[in-house]
């Protein structure tokens, strides 16, 4: 299992567009993907789960990946979390 914490930089948070991009990419990997904010942990392959986090700018989100493609998933999904979307 790999874990890494990211700070959301997007001025509007992890809203629908970046959440959708994240989930779409997450489902392409053969591994488990979770996002954690505070005490709430959600399935990173579920748009509803990601949206329920309510991640705003400045929030810390921990990405957890576990499985066959965990390294590639961490790199690609981490890039999405670090991007500043409009």
Catalytic residue positions, numbered: 15
Backbone angles phi, psi at 47, to 5 degrees: -60, -40
Dihedral sign, CA of 67, 69, 71, 73? Answer: negative
What is the C-alpha end-to-end distance of the chain, expressed in Å? 31
């Amino acid at each position: 299992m790999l874990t890494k914490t990211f700070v959301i930089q997007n001025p509007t948070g992890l809203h629908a567009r970046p959440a959708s991009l994240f989930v779409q990419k997450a489902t392409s990997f053969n591994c488990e993907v979770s996002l954690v904010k505070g005490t709430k942990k959600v399935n990173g392959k579920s748009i509803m789960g990601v949206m329920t986090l309510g991640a705003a700018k400045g929030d810390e989100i921990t990405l957890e990946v576990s499985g066959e493609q965990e390294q590639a998933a961490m790199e690609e999904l981490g890039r999405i979390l670090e991007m500043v979307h409009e």
